[in-house]
Amino acid sequence: MSKPAQPSDNERLKEQSDYLHGTIAQDLGEQLTGGFQGDNFQLIRFHGMYEQDDRDIRAERLEQKLEPNKNVMLRCRLPGGIISPEQWLGIDRFAGEHTLYGSIRLTNRQTFQYHGVLKKDIKTMHQWLHKLGLDSIATAGDVNRNVLCTSNPVESALHREAYEWAKKISEALLPQTTAYADIWLDGEKVASTETTGKHAVPERADSGDAVEPVLGKHYLPRKFKTTVVIPPHNDVDLHANDLNFVAIGANGRLAGFNVLVGGGLSMEHGNHKTFPNTAQEFGFVPLDKVLACAAAVVSVQRDWGNRSDRKNAKTRYTLINKGLDNFIAEVEQRMGARFEPVRPYHFTSRGDRIGWVKGEEGLWHLTLFIENGRLLDYPGRPLKTGVRKIAEIHRGDFRLTANQNLIVANVAPKDKAKIEKIARAHGLISDSVTKQREHSMACVSLPTCPLAMAEAERFLPQFIDQVDALMAEHGLADDHIVLRVTGCPNGCGRAMLAEIGLVGKAIGRYNLYTGGNREGTRIPRLFKENITEAEILAILAQWIGAWAQNREEGEGFGDFAVRSGIVKPVINPAVDFWDEQP
> Are 214 and 196 in contact, with CB atoms under 8 Å apart?
no
437 as an active site residue: the answer is no
Query: What CA–CA distance (Å, rounded) separates 464 from 461?
Result: 5
Kindly state the DSSP code that residue 155 receives in the 8-state scheme. S
Residue 488 bears catalytic tag: yes
The answer to whether residue 76 is catalytic is: no
**582: cis peptide before it, omega within 30°?**
no
Give yes or no for a contact between 177 and 212, defined as CB atoms under 8 angstroms apart.
yes
- Rounded (5°) CA angle 241-565-435: 55
Length of the chain equals: 582
- Considering only CA atoms, which of 427, 259, 404, 422 is closest in space to residue 335? 259
Q: Reply yes or no on whether 149 is catalytic.
A: no
Q: Residue 186, by phi and psi: left (phi above 0), alpha (psi -120 to 50) or beta? A: left
Spatial separation of the C-alpha atoms in residues 564 and 514, rounded to whole Å:
12
Q: Which of 149, 374, 443, 494 is catalytic?
A: 443
Distance CA 456, CA 254 (A): 39
Amino acid identity of residue 94, one-letter, is F
Our answer to whether residue 75 is catalytic in this structure is yes
Distance of CA 387 to the CA centre of its chain: 22
Please pick, among 225, 350, 374, 399, the residue that the annotation labels catalytic. Answer: 225
Tell me if 313 sits within 8 A of 306, measured CB to CB: yes
Q: 108 by DSSP, 3-state: which?
A: coil
Among residues 105, 109, 119, 145, the one annotated as catalytic is 145
Name the residue among 302, 313, 327, 294 with its Cα closest to residue 209. Answer: 302
Which of the following is catalytic: 488, 494, 505, 525? 488
Q: Would you call 492 a catalytic residue per the annotation?
A: yes
**Which residues lie below 8 Å from residue 317, measured CB to CB, with a gap of 6+?**
305, 306
Q: Looking at 14, 492, 505, 518, which residue is catalytic?
A: 492
Residues 6+ apart with CB under 8 A from 511: 269, 502, 503, 505, 526, 528, 529, 530, 531
Among residues 45, 223, 307, 314, the one annotated as catalytic is: 223
Angle 312-316-321 from CA coordinates, rounded to 5°: 65
Cβ atoms 400, 370 nearer than 8 A: no
The catalytic residues are 75, 145, 223, 225, 443, 449, 488, 492
